[in-house]
Structure 1
Amino acid sequence: MKKNGTTTKGTTRWRCKNPDCGTSTTHHRPDQTRTRDFKAFHAYVTGTASLTDIADTLNISRRTLDRRFTSLWLIDVPNTPDPNRVYDQIFIDGTYTTAGCLLVAASRDHVISWHWTKHETAHAYTQLLRGIAEPLCVVLDGGQGALTAIKACWPNAMIQQCLVHAQRVIRHYTTSRPRTDAGKAIYALRLPSFSGHPICTDLVSVGEDVHCESTAQEVHTGVPA
């Protein structure tokens, strides 16, 4: 084979040296093609550039780029957490999408495991937690399904409700403008600390946490804790 010009796309054309043959062809590098497409796909799913922006950098149409990405969406991402790694704190929560409910277990800096389901049930959360070693503490939104699964899979782990969700629960029962003294006192537990007194959303020690719980109990029962 010898070089015989280029195609309209600029690809080198090769022609057979045998005068009785004269076949013309081009060489293809599917490995380089797949590498190029995967790099573009990775930039798209992890960055902020749109399909149109990435297509423009590759000098192709958005529809062509979307077609190249079709098979890449089917890549099975490994979901095998280390069963021997013990975390100090794990956050678990569910996010509803058009494809279903995605349950996620994460540390402070990375996702540990995830599980697709239809609803946040105890069985679904059990599937999420069973491959992870019992941590020291679990932070959750307060859902019954997650709580049941934690008690079954991690009976010795401490449980902490997410403070954001705790704020929402307080606001749900007291509204943002409570009228009664009890409602105002409870609602004050979710506000930023301007007076210097520890509150539920501004805790830095176990002692302050105990103070917060005691205040809530006193407001609810009328009896000092």
Structure 2
Amino acid sequence: MKFKAIGTWSSKLDIGKKNSSFLLEDNTLLDCGPHAVEELINSGINLKDIKAVLVTHLHLDHYGGIPELIWQRALNGITDPVNIIGPEKIENSTISILKYYNTPEFMLEGVKFNNPDNRVTVAPGIHTVEDYTYRIKIENKKLFYSGDTSYSETAIKNGENCDIFIHEATYCNNKEDEAKKYGHSTVNDALKAFTLSRSKILVPTHMSADSLNQIKSLNYENILIPEDGKVYYL
């Protein structure tokens, strides 16, 4: 399985970092924050090849790039179908935002919302808004993506026995109460979820400088710490 780390950072950006987003097999995008489309274009990805976008929830850092994706598709003459999957309100929210941007109607040609995708299994996460976790099967490989969530047994079940287990790790372990308050995970939460899922490789994401440093200090097997803009083959 080929996947590219579009971004690995939480909502509070640092220099050189982009919000959490991953591209699978050059055709399926996991979350689409404000800089995701820019990164796709800069790395030579043809937006025509993006067939599905899986949005975990409607916060800016995970969803803010959807209007830009729709505009850039249209400006490049792309009318091939793209299926934008996400929470129940994603279609109405997107249409409302596009209206505020005075978007011509033709720009929505080919854009679909929440069409069934037999590769994808959805389960709720625990966050401050409606939030999904995704399990994606591509050929003989399985990948789990947590989006934003506190420690969740439901999410763990959705990620059982995956080849790649992408889980958020926003907070250091000494900020457990803050993590729960805002619907996020600590480094220990991510490690526990990974261990209980019996998956093969943990890819932490939605990190902060502090949580990244804590992850780097661990002597823990089967962790791949992703770098923004880098492509991986697993």
TM-score, length of structure 2 as denominator length = 0.28
TM-score, length of structure 1 as denominator length = 0.29
**Which structure shows the bigger proportion of residues in helix conformation?**
1
Q: Tell me which of the two structures has the higher relative contact order, counting C-alpha pairs closer than 8 angstroms and 6 or more residues apart.
A: 2
The structure number with the bigger radius of gyration is 1
